[in-house]
Structure formats: C-alpha cells, structure tokens
Amino acid sequence: MAILVTGGAGFIGSNFVLEWLAQSSESVVVLDKLTYAGNPDNLSSVQNDARFKLVQGDIGDRTLVSDLLTKHGIRAVLNFAAESHVDRSIHAPGEFIQTNVVGTFELLEAVRAYWGALEGDARQAFRFLHVSTDEVYGSLGDNDPAFTEQHRYEPNSPYSASKAASDHLVRAYHHTYGLPVLTTNCSNNYGPFHFPEKLIPLMILNALNGKALPVYGDGRNVRDWLYVTDHCSAIRRVLESGLLGETYNIGGWNEKTNLEVVHTLCDILDDLSPRSDAKSYREQMQFVKDRPGHDRRYAIDASKVERELGWRPAETFDSGIRKTVRWYLDHPQWVQGVVSGAYRDWVKTQYGQ
C-alpha cells in the first residue's frame, strides 16, 4: 500500500512527504514535473528511504499516472501539484490553465479508471484529496466575516480562477461518478522550503542580501497565515476522517496585514542577525506599484474542520514566523541552491535525465 503525492517536491508537498515518512510506515510515491518550483533537494533527507520514490512527470500524463497507480497499488492520491504564484499567473496564465485545469482533469480521469476497477475494501478505502486555496472565494471587505465552506466562489486572478476550475472538476467527479474525493481550501502557508518568490521568504532573503523589501500598494492587504506543518496535519486528518465529497477550510486564525508581516520579519532579523550598521532592516522597506487586481483580504473560518474532525493549528504566528526565519538562517546551502538554480544540476546528478 502506498499514497501518491503529486507536486511533492514543492513547498507544501515536500513538507507533507517528510512528515508522512516520519509518522507513518506507509510508502510514498511523489509525482512531480520539477518545474522551477519543484526542488528534489527538499526531499534529500529521505532519498535513501526504501519507502520513498520520486518520479519526474506531469499530472497531465494520463498514461504515466495510470501506470503509477497500478504499479504501486495506490490507496490515496493527494493532489498538491499546481502552478501556485499569483504574480506569475498575471504575467503568463497559460501554464496555470494547463496544469491546474487540464492537468487536474487528466489526473481525475486516470484516477477514475483506476478506482473503477478496484473491488471490495480497496474500492471502499480509496481517496482522492485535492489541495486547494482560500483564494477561490475572492476578496473580503475589512468587516466581512471570514470565508466558510458556503461562501460563493469569486476568484479574481488567473491563479485563483484556475484553482476554482479544478475544485469544480473534483466536485463534479464525486457528484457524477461517485469518485471518493475530499477538498481542502487553505489560507496562506509559510515555513521551511518556501520558494523565495512568495512574500515571507522573499523578504527574509532580500533583507539579508541588503536588497529592497518591496511592499505592494499601501501594504494593508490582509492574509491569514498558517504554518506549513499545521496545514500538513490538517490534510492528514481530512484524509483519515473527512466525509466524502466534503470541503474543509483550513486556516490559522492569524490575519495580518502585509506591513505587519514585514515589520515582524525585520524585527526578528534585527534580533537574530543584526545589520552591520546596527540599523533596522525596516530601513530597506519600499512601497512599490500594486499588483493588478490585488485581493484586499482573505480570512478563513476553520470552525468546520475543528468541530467535525477535531483539528486545530499547533503554531501561533509568533512561534511559526520565528521558526521560519531561523530555518532560512540555518539553511544557507538550500537558499544558495534555489537562488542559483544549482538544484537543477543536483537532479541530473542524483536521478539522471
């Protein structure tokens, strides 16, 4: 028995795989296209674990997915694979449609055929868990209540529209074919292995490199932050006990403006790795042109997953953000590999072509 984790070399997927192997005896097959965001180095600590296998490939490759499902007797698919960066989706939406919409469709088709041929307990136990985002719900006003699972979908960026489309396909495969699906919609994650194009790792690395800290617009957009291992524990809980066809909102009850986040990062860095001139990293902050269509506020109401499945986050924002800064300070080689693109060479060395 094994699980298939798509996108398992990315930020959240790799954290999930590492925790899974630490906590379970069950094998993991990772299917990852290894785009710029996929980094096998994230998984180097388990590369010699006999229960772990990394396959480079596309979720849109139905033949490959079908072969993996059969060959490894997969009992659950966890779909993390996606193009995930809003700014990239604004510059070049095509890849987002290809992977997030068409790729998810091809993956669902492969899974539907495989599950359709299962019998007895194996058919009963099979699960397809789709990892999605709060961004499908659109943007909240300052005083609006947080997103519940009943909130209507109002995606505003090519990224969130493509994720919304994938959520709808997953829902339809349950409704139409009875595919045993679960969907999670999570708020912004942060923590180890976060690719430095996203706000938190970008600010940490720019600060340390003496570069500007670019704050979009007025810096008062609000995100609801969740430490990545809390997201992983929620996904495990939903996989174990979630009701088929249901969606679960996952969040950290940690709404912060971008300014609050950047100030906090600067203050922690001032403490852990002070500038040589003893000035604050806050001096490097710069307001820049806003993101087009920038969603003002996201906030997750995570009471359903707590009430029905007993899940709550373990980290507060204060504990998680400090751990995160520490992790980046303690892993200069990982940073160097990502920034220089050297991890691509590592793939060739370790896994061949």
Q: Which residues bind ligand NAD (CB under 6 A)?
A: 6-7, 9-13, 31-35, 37-38, 58-60, 80-84, 99, 103, 131-133, 163, 186, 188-189, 195
Burial 27-45 (b: 16+ CB within 10 A, else e): bbbbbbbbbebbbbbbbee
User: What is the C-alpha R_g of the chain?
Assistant: 20
Burial 209-224 (b: 16+ CB within 10 A, else e): eeeebbbeeebebbbb
CB 155 within 8 Å of CB 163: yes
Residue matched to tokens 């990772």 = 30
Nearer to ligand NAD, 60 or 180 (CB): 60
Nearer to ligand TYD, 126 or 137 (CB): 137
* Active-site residue, selected from the candidate residues 135, 224, 255, 315: 135
Beta-sheet pairing, 222-227 with 255-257: antiparallel
Question: For the window 256-275, what string marks contact with ligand TYD as x by the rule CB under 6 A?
Answer: --x-----------------
Could you say which of ligand TYD, ligand NAD, none residue 6 binds, taking C-beta under 5 to 8 angstroms by partner kind? ligand NAD
Nearest to 77 by CA among 118, 39, 111: 111
3-class DSSP state for residue 85?
coil
Q: Determine whether 135 is an active site residue.
A: yes
DSSP state of 147: B
Could you say which of ligand TYD, ligand NAD, none residue 216 binds, taking C-beta under 5 to 8 angstroms by partner kind? ligand TYD
* Active-site residue, selected from the candidate residues 32, 58, 106, 134: 134
**Smallest distance from the beta carbon of 87 to ligand TYD, in angstroms?**
6
* Active-site residue, selected from the candidate residues 32, 41, 58, 159: 159
Q: Which of 43, 86, 181, 266 binds ligand TYD (CB under 6 A)?
A: 86
**Smallest distance from the beta carbon of 258 to ligand TYD, in angstroms?**
5
Nearer to ligand NAD, 300 or 325 (CB): 300
CB 104 within 8 Å of CB 59: yes
Nearest to 222 by CA among 123, 134, 349, 97: 134
Q: Is residue 223 a contact point for ligand TYD (CB under 6 A)?
A: yes
Q: Is residue 215 a contact point for ligand TYD (CB under 6 A)?
A: yes
Q: What share of the chain is helix, strand, coil (3-state, %, to 5)?
A: 50, 20, 35
Q: Is residue 199 a contact point for ligand TYD (CB under 6 A)?
A: yes
Q: Determine whether 134 is an active site residue.
A: yes
Q: Is residue 198 a contact point for ligand TYD (CB under 6 A)?
A: yes
Could you say which of ligand NAD, ligand TYD, none residue 189 binds, taking C-beta under 5 to 8 angstroms by partner kind? ligand NAD
What's the number of CA atoms in the CB half-sphere (13 Å) around residue 21? 23
DSSP state of 344: H
Q: Which of 188, 229, 264, 284 binds ligand TYD (CB under 6 A)?
A: 188
Q: Is residue 156 a contact point for ligand TYD (CB under 6 A)?
A: no
Catalytic residue set: 134-135, 159
Q: Where along the sequence are the contacts to ligand TYD (CB under 6 A)?
A: 86, 188, 198-199, 202, 214-216, 221, 223, 258, 291
